[in-house]
């Protein structure tokens, strides 16, 4: 788009449309504020509520104020009750530096116009100026730039009288590029006050010259926080360090918040069709005392500030470091030096200066760089303390002594030698362990080692298992334990000579000596009651109450189970699965079915005494599928007919679990219950629940009760289930509140999974449910599992997160553990570590395979230790860090107010970054934000966690949704949390039809979207397909099979199968993404400006959220302020 091009004739994206009473209005109620013409509002959320829009009187410009108080109004007095700027005094704290000579004035550059509305003539005062916070991105700081010169201390002449603040005479472009001639111009740099230089580190503009020899690993991000000006021009920065202005090339890509005037995170200038994004919503702002220095209002003023209660978000910073309009800035020139306001162009225009919108660290860039740098070579695990490629990179692992990152990822691969150093850095030391992770076909599964009767070789003292780090001594007759240093005799059958290097001669023949991951066959000593286990059983328990039958769910489940029971998991070489199956149906009472192979027809037995649950039959309840196939098929045909006319609406729940548990006890085996449940269990029975949903508790100290179970009954039941090895998987189909926080307790503590299909409808949700059910039944799972993590001397495992039960402080117990579940373990120092020996972890999982074989799976990992903080920060893994922080926070909400949890998160991350700044970064001005290279995405990802539904729910998020997500995230692996918190956004129209690859992802911001394109966004639970209003008709025809935008149906749950290359490509992309995720994602079609767009925008995580979450730019400024407070 050329710099002077006019705005599009279509309505700017996200602007309220006539008759589309949306959620963009600051009041969020869908009703426009009184007296506000809709067209004046910016895209998406409108201007900051509570900022009245001052309009200076025509013809006279006030002298600048010299104190923090607003100057007297010339010719206009403020209405009583209205503060001079707003109720939120931003910028009134000047941090002890005197204010500058002139107030900063801001043109209405980000104000979109309704199509067809004539621009207001200059002589007339503009009604509602967007005086107030700059918009979150493209023009984030461009307008600041227009009002200040960098480094100059003299106030320039005000614009000619009469120009005032009227809107421009031509409609400003609403694209990501800035017009540079006809509108508010950037101040040219004169020779005496050159632009900031570009630092060696990452091409970032510095507020002072770079230090010689500065390490490449730091990122300098000069966020201008008010009260701290960049150094005056005496630092001698010459104009030559900026790119020449002819042709307006972009400065080098930078990572970090921009200088004032640097645009933040806009689209590249080559992408037209973007509107500047909106001013931030005020829900984050608590009222601040004090008036705002600045011009008073004359005549008109903006909408009155809505009385929002302070949200649990960040209090807005008083000195405006959130990107609000600031008070007069020290060392900054006055209003528009040399540049008149938009109306006319006296004097020659300054040279155009296009600023790079991508000036803060981009997740997309980091992911792409890692793919290109590390995707081609295999990751060989032979070296201690190597940081693996990112989870978003496809790479092959060669196990040479350390466990693959698919099994274990750490927050840091170089851990501090002392606890003092760990405390100082605040970097949590944690490992995210996925013991039964699925490997890609090109990697070898762990070898199974059988040591016969004697079992695995272990250390006498700490009981660690034989691994590559054990040291053989005395010619191989003994070994010294790498964990506790105890010396143990080598059993005679295990003896082997050593070679000249001290390695055993059979080193490469034994997986436990040469590989990081392997399995041992367990002996009878490792089994319950010292006897080998029976193969596990699966029990399908189907709710047959009115809702379940009427929705078609019961018939659907029965039809699917007929074929699904042929796909039960089995050991690699077995003909058929060893797993036995049983069937129960229930409403207020339970029905057990005898499906013994000798019967001609199944028999039903009813247990109506739910208070004292027992299993009415032993023989014939759990059967082999092949033997009883015809009886089972007959039963599954009959169940939908038997209950077709049911009128029973009430259900029980706890007795259903008890029944399954009793059946497994009677059969003396472990197993899994698959429970299909539809409603709150209010029928008279143990575990009966009441509806306690209460949105009014949000943001109060009692909010934590919403996440806690309403009775301890289920905790006790879970404990019994774990003892028996009874894992519970729960499929929920609620039409209203169901109390997931309570119903999920047993699932969560037994290591099971919850699946939730709210307002289940056969035609739209059936495929998703059936895909989930198939995968859940077929996936690899271990039963009756116990996991213990051993560490070398100096650190120990102190805390655990995930879906499990713990009866002591060391053993993680799970009735079931599947290939998708992770356990996150935190380590603390209990002694000093040494750089020479490093630190070791060994995760040992004892479990029963689906064939009933007792096994031990061992994963080993060696880490480096450091005495220098710089080494710690050089070897961190941000994705794993975020996984840990999210889980820690999500557990925190059970016991603390959400606001406390959020504040603790922000504080911990500020301390991590402040410690780096203080101890590792080269000295620089306080106005710069400096991030470690491997943590440069910490702020953006952390902001996503803070804005998530658990920690900051929007009005449409239900209590059940929050409890569901909280439990889901707690056992997610690093790849899942990565895409869950920062969704993947793909431009489908850019996909190459004839290649297998995905189109390059783009950043999660509304201004990256073009009206004429189609995008796909996925977060592991949903896939959105967003269609812009100006998409070519041929594309719509090819993808949806309809002839126009208006005919696209929102009700589609799958894309139509059409015979053209675009349709095939998009469907293959969707299939490719579905395969990568552990759950089938719900497909949602979103048309631009449709009511569903609000839901879609919730996932554009770099923008401000409706629920009050900060934009990425604002949050970066906020983090910078927090860091500076810690440093000062």
Find out whether 1103 and 44 touch, Cβ atoms under 8 Å. Answer: yes
Q: How far, in Å, are 173, 174, 546, 687 from residue 3 at the CA level?
A: 8, 11, 63, 67
- Residue 220 confidence (pLDDT): 53
pLDDT digits (tens, 9 = 90+) for 602-634: 999 999 999 999 999 989 999 999 999 999 999
Query: What's the whole-number average pLDDT of the chain?
Result: 78
What lies within 8 Å, CB to CB, of 375 at 6+ separation is 389, 393, 394, 395
Dist. CA 230–CA 649, nearest whole Å: 69
Dist. CA 1037–CA 702, nearest whole Å: 52
Partners of 791 in the beta sheet?
A: 841
How much is the CA Rg of the chain, to the nearest whole Å? Answer: 32
Residue 885 gets the label, from left (phi > 0), alpha (psi -120 to 50) or beta, of alpha
Distance of CA 958 to the CA centre of its chain: 19
- Residue 1107 confidence (pLDDT): 85
Residue 1066: pLDDT over 70: yes
pLDDT digits (tens, 9 = 90+) for 195-236: 333 333 333 333 333 343 444 444 555 444 444 434 433 333
Residue 348: pLDDT over 80: no
- Secondary structure class of 59 (helix, strand, coil): coil
User: What is the SS3 assignment for 471-527?
Assistant: EEEHHHCEEECCCCCCEEECCHHHCCCECCCCCECCHHHCHHHHCCEEEEECCHHHC
Partners of 785 in the beta sheet?
A: 814
- Residue 949 confidence (pLDDT): 94
Dist. CA 335–CA 353, nearest whole Å: 19
Q: pTM of the entire structure?
A: 0.72
Dist. CA 772–CA 276, nearest whole Å: 40
| Segment 437-465 mean pLDDT | 96
- Residue 107 confidence (pLDDT): 42
Find out whether 428 and 886 touch, Cβ atoms under 8 Å. Answer: no
- Residue 221 confidence (pLDDT): 53
Q: Above pLDDT 70, what percent of the chain? A: 68
| Segment 343-370 mean pLDDT | 66
| Segment 911-927 mean pLDDT | 91
- Secondary structure class of 1082 (helix, strand, coil): strand
The DSSP call for residue 888 is H
Residue 155: pLDDT over 50: no
| Segment 994-1001 mean pLDDT | 91
Helix or strand (DSSP H, E) at 258: none
Dist. CA 161–CA 156, nearest whole Å: 14
List, in sequence order, the alpha helices (H) in 725-835. 740-750, 762-778
| Segment 996-1010 mean pLDDT | 94
Residue 530: pLDDT over 80: yes
| Segment 767-774 mean pLDDT | 97
Q: How confident is the model at residue 157 (pLDDT cuts 50, 70, 90)?
A: very low
Residue 737: pLDDT over 80: yes
pLDDT digits (tens, 9 = 90+) for 457-496: 999 999 999 999 999 999 999 999 999 999 999 999 999 9
Nearest alpha-carbon partner for 672 in 779, 792, 806, 545: 779
Higher pLDDT pick, 258 / 699: 699
What lies within 8 Å, CB to CB, of 430 at 6+ separation is 410, 411, 824, 825, 826, 827, 880, 884
| Segment 809-820 mean pLDDT | 96
Q: What is the per-residue DSSP string for 948-973?
A: STTTS--TT--HHHHHHHHHHHHT--
Residue 757: pLDDT over 70: yes
pLDDT digits (tens, 9 = 90+) for 541-576: 999 999 999 999 999 999 999 999 999 999 877 889
Residue 1043: pLDDT over 70: yes
Dist. CA 639–CA 542, nearest whole Å: 10
Q: How confident is the model at residue 272 (pLDDT cuts 50, 70, 90)?
A: very low
| Segment 53-71 mean pLDDT | 44
């Amino acid at each position: 788009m050329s710099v002077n091009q006019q705005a599009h004739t279509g309505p700017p994206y996200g602007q309220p449309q006539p008759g589309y009473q949306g959620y963009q209005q600051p009041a969020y109620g869908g009703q426009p504020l009184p007296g506000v013409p809709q067209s004046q509002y910016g895209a998406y959320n409108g201007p900051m509520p509570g900022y009245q829009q001052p309009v200076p009187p025509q013809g006279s410009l006030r002298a600048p104020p010299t104190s923090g108080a607003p100057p007297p109004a010339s010719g206009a007095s403020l209405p009583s009750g209205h503060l001079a700027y707003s109720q939120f005094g931003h910028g009134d704290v000047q941090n002890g530096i005197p204010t500058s000579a002139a107030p900063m004035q801001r043109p209405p550059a980000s104000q979109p116009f309704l199509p067809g509305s004539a621009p207001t003539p200059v002589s007339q005062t503009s009604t509602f100026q967007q005086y107030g916070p700059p918009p979150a991105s493209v023009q984030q700081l461009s307008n600041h730039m227009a009002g200040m010169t960098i480094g100059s201390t003299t106030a320039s002449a005000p614009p000619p009288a009469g120009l005032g603040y009227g809107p421009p005479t031509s409609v400003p472009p609403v694209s990501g590029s800035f017009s540079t001639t006809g509108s508010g111009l950037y101040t040219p740099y004169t020779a005496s006050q050159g632009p900031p230089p570009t630092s060696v580190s990452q091409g970032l503009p510095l507020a002072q010259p770079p230090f010689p020899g500065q390490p490449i690993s730091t990122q300098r991000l000069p966020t201008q926080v008010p009260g701290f000006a960049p150094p005056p021009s005496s630092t001698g920065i010459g104009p030559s360090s900026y790119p020449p202005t002819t042709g307006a090339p972009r400065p080098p890509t930078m990572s970090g918040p921009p200088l004032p005037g640097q645009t933040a995170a806009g689209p590249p200038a080559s992408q037209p069709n973007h509107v500047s994004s909106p001013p931030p919503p005020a829900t984050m702002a608590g009222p601040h005392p004090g008036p705002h220095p600045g011009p008073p209002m004359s005549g008109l003023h903006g909408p009155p500030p809505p009385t929002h209660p302070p949200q649990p978000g960040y209090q807005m910073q008083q000195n405006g470091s959130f990107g609000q309009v600031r008070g007069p800035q020290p060392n900054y020139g006055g209003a528009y030096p040399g540049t008149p306001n938009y109306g006319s162009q006296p004097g020659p225009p300054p040279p155009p200066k296009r600023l790079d919108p991508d000036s803060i660290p981009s997740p997309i860039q980091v992911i792409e760089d890692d793919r290109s740098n590390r995707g081609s070579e295999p990751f060989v695990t032979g070296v201690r303390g190597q940081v693996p490629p990112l989870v978003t990179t496809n790479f092959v692992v060669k196990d040479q002594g350390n466990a693959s990152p698919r099994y274990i990822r750490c927050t840091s691969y170089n851990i501090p030698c002392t606890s003092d150093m760990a405390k100082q850095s605040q970097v949590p030391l944690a490992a995210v362990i996925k013991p039964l992770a699925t490997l890609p076909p090109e990697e070898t599964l762990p070898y199974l080692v059988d040591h016969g009767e004697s079992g695995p070789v272990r250390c006498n003292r700490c009981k660690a298992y034989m691994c590559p780090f054990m040291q053989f001594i005395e010619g191989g007759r003994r070994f010294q334990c790498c964990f506790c240093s105890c010396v143990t005799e080598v059993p005679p059958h295990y003896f082997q000579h050593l070679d000249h290097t001290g390695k055993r001669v059979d080193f490469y023949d034994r997986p436990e000596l040469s590989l990081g991951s392997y399995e041992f066959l367990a002996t009878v000593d490792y089994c319950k009651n010292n006897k080998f286990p029976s193969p596990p059983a699966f029990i399908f328990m189907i709710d047959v109450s009115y809702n379940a039958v009427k929705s078609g769910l019961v018939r659907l489940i029965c039809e699917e189970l007929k074929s699904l029971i042929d796909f039960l998991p089995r050991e690699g070489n077995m003909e058929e699965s060893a797993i036995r199956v049983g069937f129960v149906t229930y409403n207020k009472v339970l029905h057990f079915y005898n499906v013994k192979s000798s019967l001609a027809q199944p028999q039903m037995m009813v247990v109506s005494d739910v208070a004292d649950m027992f299993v009415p039959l032993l023989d014939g309840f759990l059967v082999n599928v092949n033997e009883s196939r015809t009886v089972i098929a007959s039963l599954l045909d009959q169940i939908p007919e038997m209950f077709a006319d049911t009128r029973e609406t009430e259900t029980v729940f706890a007795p259903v679990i008890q029944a399954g548990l009793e059946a497994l006890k009677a059969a003396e085996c472990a197993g899994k219950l698959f429970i299909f449940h539809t409603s709150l269990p209010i029928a008279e029975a143990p575990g009966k629940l009441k509806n306690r949903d209460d949105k009014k508790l949000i943001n109060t100290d009692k909010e934590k009760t919403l996440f806690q179970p309403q009775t301890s009954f289920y905790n006790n039941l879970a404990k019994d289930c774990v003892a028996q090895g009874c894992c519970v998987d729960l499929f929920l189909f609620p039409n209203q509140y169901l109390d997931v926080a309570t119903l999920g307790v047993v699932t969560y503590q037994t290591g099971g999974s919850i699946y939730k299909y709210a307002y289940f409808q056969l035609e739209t949700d059936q495929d998703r449910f059936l895909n989930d059910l198939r995968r859940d039944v077929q996936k690899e799972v271990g039963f009756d599992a116990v996991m213990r993590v051993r560490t070398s001397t100096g650190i120990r495992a102190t805390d655990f997160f995930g879906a499990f039960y713990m009866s002591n402080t060391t053993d993680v117990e799970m009735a079931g553990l599947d290939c998708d579940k992770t356990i996150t373990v935190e380590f603390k120092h209990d002694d000093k570590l040494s750089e020479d020996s490093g630190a070791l972890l060994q995760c040992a999982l004892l479990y029963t395979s689906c064939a009933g074989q007792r096994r031990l799976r061992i994963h080993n990992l060696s880490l480096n230790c450091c005495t220098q903080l710089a080494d710690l920060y050089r070897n961190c893994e941000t994705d794993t860090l975020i996984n840990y922080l999210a889980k820690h926070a999500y557990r925190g909400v059970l016991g603390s107010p959400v606001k406390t949890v959020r504040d603790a998160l922000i504080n911990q991350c500020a301390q991590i970054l402040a410690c780096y700044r203080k101890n590792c970064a080269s000295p620089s001005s306080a106005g710069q934000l400096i991030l470690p290279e491997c943590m440069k995405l910490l702020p953006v990802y952390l902001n996503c966690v803070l804005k998530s539904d658990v920690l900051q729910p929007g009005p449409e998020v239900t209590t059940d949704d929050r409890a569901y997500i909280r439990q889901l995230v707690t056992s997610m692996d690093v790849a899942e949390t990565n895409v869950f918190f920062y969704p993947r956004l793909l431009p489908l129209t850019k996909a190459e039809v004839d290649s297998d690859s995905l189109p390059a992802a783009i950043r999660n911001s509304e201004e990256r979207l073009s009206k004429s394109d189609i995008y796909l966004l996925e977060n592991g639970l949903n896939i959105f397909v967003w269609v812009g209003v100006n998409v070519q008709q041929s594309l719509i025809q090819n993808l949806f099979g309809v002839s126009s935008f208006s005919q696209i149906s929102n009700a589609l749950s799958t894309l139509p199968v059409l015979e053209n290359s675009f349709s095939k490509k998009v469907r293959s992309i969707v299939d490719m993404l579905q395969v990568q995720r552990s759950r089938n994602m719900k497909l949602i079609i979103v048309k631009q400006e449709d009511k569903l767009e609000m839901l879609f925008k919730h996932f554009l995580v770099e923008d401000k959220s409706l629920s009050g979450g900060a934009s990425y730019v604002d949050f970066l400024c906020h983090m910078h302020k927090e860091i500076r407070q810690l440093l000062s």
